Chains A and B, each alone.
Chain A
Amino acid sequence: MLQPNPYEGKLIVVEGIDGSGKSTQIDLLNKWLQPIGRDVYFSEWNSSELVKSTTRVGKKTRSLTPTTFSLIHATDFAERWENIILPLLKAGVIVLADRYAFTAFARDVARGVDPIWVRNLYSFAFQPDIAFYFNIPLDVAVGRILASRAKIKYYEAGSDLGLSNDKVTSFRLFQGRIMEEYEKMISEFGFTVIDGNLPLQVKQREMRDIVTQKIL
C-alpha cells in the first residue's frame, strides 16, 4: 500500500516489461499535455546524477547483488523524489514518470528479494493518480528488444541470476518472471491496464481519454 497523493500536482506513471511500448506512449502524452498549457515534468527511472557514479561502478564491476541492486535503485528514486518529484507535486505540476516503484517491486522480487521488504523501501512514495500498465505478450516484447538492440546488457538480461548461459534465453526467462510480478500488482495497486496489442495511436487515444477524465 502506498499513501495517497495529498497535493495539487498529479502523478502519472507508465509500467511494463522492456519492449512493452510504455516510453513511446508517455512521450506522446508529454507532447500532448505541454501545448495545451499544462505544467508538466518528465522523470525517468535510474536518472539521478548523484547516484549515477555508484550504479556505474556496480554494473561495471558486476558486484551488485539483488539486495544492493534494489537499494541503489531505491536511493536513485529517493533522490529524485526528495529533490524533484515531491516538490513539483507540492507546486501543482503534473509529473510523468517512465517507470516507478512498481518496476522495483517487479524486478527486484524477480531477482529474489523479499516482496514485503522492497515495498517498505518505497513506502514514502505516493500511489500515482494514474498507473498505466502495458500488458503485452512476452514474445512480442522480447522480439522488439532483440530487434532494436545490438546487445543485451548483463543486468538487463538478469545474467546475475544464472538462469541460463545464453543471454537471450536468460533475458526471456527474466522478463517472464518480471511479468508475473506485474500481473500480481494489477489489483494490488489498481493499475490501469492498456492492451499492448492495440495499434499505437489507439493506445494513445485511450490514455488521453483516461487522463482527461481523471485529471484535467
Chain B
Amino acid sequence: MKKVEFYESGFPYANIGELPGKLIVLEGNDGVGRSTQIEMLRQWLEEQGYGVSNTGLARSPLTQPGLDAAKAGHTIGRLTMNLFYATDFADRLENNIIPALSAGFYVLSDRYFFSIIARNVVRGADPNWARKVYGFALKPDIIFYLRADVPTLVRRVLKGRGFDYWESGMDVRFADNLYDSFCKYQGKLIGQFDQMAEEFGFVIIDANRSVEDIFSELKERTRELIDKG
C-alpha cells in the first residue's frame, strides 16, 4: 500500500491513516464520454469483486443548492465560482472520497480539480492561484485524460443532449453563437489539459476512437494498476 500523498499541505488537522482503496480519475472535455466509460469501468470492477464508489463535480449536498442558484442567476464572479467549486470538492473529498478509500473502495471520480482549474484559467483566473487553492487535494492513484479533438466533441454533444450554455462558454461569449463559442471554448480547455498532462502525470487516452476501443485501453491500464497493488 502506497503512502497517502497530497499535492501540498493536505488536511494538517486530520489524522488520515492508510487508504487501501484506489482513486481513479477520469478527466477530459464535455462530451468526451467520461460518464459512459465510468459506468463501464464500474461494472467491470464490480464483476472482479471490487467495491466501487462514484463521485463527480458539484455533487456535494452542501454546495449544490448554492451553486445551482448561482448558475441560474449568472451573476457569479470567477473567484467566487472557483471557491464555490473548491468548497464542493473539499466536502466530497473529506466526507465521501477519503472515507470510501479508507474502507477499501475503488473510487471513480468523474473529473477532479483539474477541470475546475482549466475552466477558471480559460476565464482569466491566475493559474498559480488556482493550483494552490487545491493544495489540500489527495493525489489520485491514476488520472486518465480522455483526449478528443473538437470535431469529435461536437458530434458527440449534438448526438446527445445538445449544446449547453456553460459547456459552450457562453458566459464569456467566445463567439456570438453556440457552435463557434463551443469550439473555441473546448479548444482552449484542451490546451489547458494538455499543459496539465505533463505537470500532473495524466495517462492520455485517445478518445477519438469508439467507446469499446477506449474502454479496452482503460481496462488494460486499470488492470496494471490493480496488479501493482
Residue of A nearest to B65 (CB): A53
Nearest-neighbour CB distance to chain A for B36, whole angstroms, equals 31
Provide the A67-98 mask, 1 if CB < 8 A to any CB of B, else 0.
Answer: 11001101100110111000000000000000
A68 with B91: CB separation less than 8 A: yes
Residue of A nearest to B78 (CB): A82
Nearest-neighbour CB distance to chain A for B218, whole angstroms, equals 31
A54 with B87: CB separation less than 8 A: yes
**Which of A18-26, A111-119, A140-148, A198-206 touches B?**
A111-119
Evaluate whether A50 and B87 lie within 8 angstroms (CB atoms) in the complex, with A117-B136, A120-B129 already known: no
Residue of A nearest to B133 (CB): A121
Report which of A53, A67, A79 forms a contact with B77, defined as CB distance below 8 A.
A79
B9 with A72: CB separation less than 8 A: no
A68–B61 CA distance with the chains assembled, in angstroms:
13
Report which of B65, B73, B80, B129 forms a contact with A75, defined as CB distance below 8 A.
B80
Most B CB within 10 A of own CB, among A51, A54, A66: A54
B79 with A124: CB separation less than 8 A: yes
Evaluate whether A65 and B66 lie within 8 angstroms (CB atoms) in the complex, with A83-B75, A120-B129, A124-B129 already known: no
A75 with B83: CB separation less than 8 A: yes
Provide the A44-58 mask, 1 if CB < 8 A to any CB of B, else 0.
Answer: 000000110110011
A159–B12 CA distance with the chains assembled, in angstroms:
18
A123, CB-defined interface residue at 8 Å: yes
**Contacting residues, chain A, for B14 (C-beta < 8 A):** 65
Evaluate whether A120 and B77 lie within 8 angstroms (CB atoms) in the complex, with A57-B61, A58-B62, A67-B90 already known: no
Provide the A13-47 mask, 1 if CB < 8 A to any CB of B, else 0.
Answer: 00000000000000000000000000000000000
A58–B63 CA distance with the chains assembled, in angstroms:
9
**Contacting residues, chain B, for A169 (C-beta < 8 A):** none
A114–B90 CA distance with the chains assembled, in angstroms:
14
B225, CB-defined interface residue at 8 Å: no
Residue of B nearest to A119 (CB): B132
Number of interface residues of B (CB under 8 A): 34
A63, CB-defined interface residue at 8 Å: yes
Report which of B9, B79, B80, B133 forms a contact with A50, defined as CB distance below 8 A.
B80
A65 with B11: CB separation less than 8 A: yes
B86, CB-defined interface residue at 8 Å: yes
**Contacting residues, chain A, for B9 (C-beta < 8 A):** 113-114, 116-117
A63–B93 CA distance with the chains assembled, in angstroms:
12
**Contacting residues, chain A, for B135 (C-beta < 8 A):** 114, 117, 120
Provide the B49-92 mask, 1 if CB < 8 A to any CB of A, else 0.
Answer: 00000000000011101100110010111111011101100110
A116–B133 CA distance with the chains assembled, in angstroms:
10
**Contacting residues, chain A, for B133 (C-beta < 8 A):** 120-121
**Contacting residues, chain B, for A67 (C-beta < 8 A):** 11, 90, 94, 136
A102–B91 CA distance with the chains assembled, in angstroms:
23
B12 with A113: CB separation less than 8 A: yes
A114 with B61: CB separation less than 8 A: no
B90 with A68: CB separation less than 8 A: yes
Q: List 13 A-B contacts (CB under 8 A).
A: A51-B84, A53-B69, A54-B62, A65-B95, A68-B62, A72-B87, A78-B80, A78-B83, A82-B77, A82-B80, A113-B12, A117-B8, A123-B129
Residues in chain A within 8 A of chain B (CB atoms): 50-51, 53-54, 57-58, 61, 63-68, 71-72, 74-75, 78-79, 81-83, 111-114, 116-117, 120-121, 123-124
| 3 shortest interchain CB distances as A-B pairs | A112-B13, A82-B77, A114-B9
